[in-house]
Chain A
Amino acid sequence: MTEGKKALLVMGCPEVPVQMSIVLYLSHKLCKAGYDVTVAGTDAAVKLLKVSDPESYYVQKTVDLDQLIADIVEKKTDFDLCFTFMHSDAGMTYGATFSAISRARLYAVVFGKNAEELAKTIDYPAEKIVAKATHNPNPLKNKIYKVVL
């Protein structure tokens, strides 16, 4: 039963193209599965998302990343599932933060040129979804499909 369950998608730096398409795809799939989905990101990442989905068809709720962290730490909100998108050390560091502050089941979605090396640095409890993808979202999409959907 996923009815009423909350899922969070945490976007990293939006410079790698596959991130936005996978965020839209995963949000859509989770919504169809009954999850209440929220997408968090920096100002730039949220702007990219809103331009890509102007009528909020795939993503209904967005939130500023720093504000979200404050709200979770202050126990104003939390989630059942959390997908943190990462292709850099900073993204991995944000993943560690969510692992520490949230009770959500954590998925580390690792992509980009150095996906395998980056995935090795994750030593906190998270299910790793790893694909060396930058422009072609299909390898990452297939892995997500196998693990989650």
Chain B
Amino acid sequence: MSCIEQMKYKLYLERTSFKDAREYIEKNSEEVYYVDPGYKIFKDYYIIGVPPVAMGVRGKEMLFTYVKPCHGTFVMGIDSEEEIARLRQREEEKIKASLKKGGPKAKAEPAPSSFSDIWKK
């Protein structure tokens, strides 16, 4: 049993499909972040899910999916500023990495001045 079940949590959806749980998080969160299956939260819970796995932030609460083989998917909410900060930091790092990968923008070509210039291309 994961540590999550011993924490103070709220259940927003119970025994639903993963798709419906993801949509609930996307529609009912102030911020939405996407993680890969296997993303670790709290002490020992590794997120189960179909990518992209949505994680929501609503105030101090983190919304996430919790899947049990015999009971389906649940949407849970747990207050955790620490986990929310980790999600935000991870997103920042992702953006920085993608900017680095893109490198300096390629030199812009001058705009064609006539239809014949476009045709030549």
Enumerate chain A interface residues (CB-CB to B < 8 A).
12-15, 41-42, 44-45, 65-66, 69-70, 72-73, 88-94, 96-97, 100-101, 123-124
Contacts and interface: CB of A to CB of B under 8 A. Distances in A.
B68 to A, nearest CB: 7
Contacts of B19: 89
Interface residues of B, number: 21
Interface of B: 2, 17-19, 36-38, 40, 44, 46, 48-51, 67-73
A65 B69 CA distance: 10
Contacts of B50: 92-93, 96, 123-124
Contact of A42 (B2, B36, B40, B70): B70
A69 B51 contact: no
Given A42-B69, A73-B40, A90-B67, 20 more contacts: A12-B69, A45-B69, A69-B48, A70-B46, A72-B38, A88-B69, A89-B18, A89-B19, A89-B72, A90-B18, A90-B68, A90-B69, A91-B69, A93-B48, A93-B49, A97-B38, A100-B37, A100-B38, A100-B51, A101-B37
A90 B17 CA distance: 7
B49 A97 contact: yes
Contacts of B67: 90, 93-94
A146 to B, nearest CB: 27
Contacts of A44: 70
A73 B46 CA distance: 8
Nearest 9 A-B pairs (CB), nearest first? A13-B70, A96-B50, A97-B37, A73-B38, A100-B37, A101-B38, A89-B17, A93-B18, A13-B69
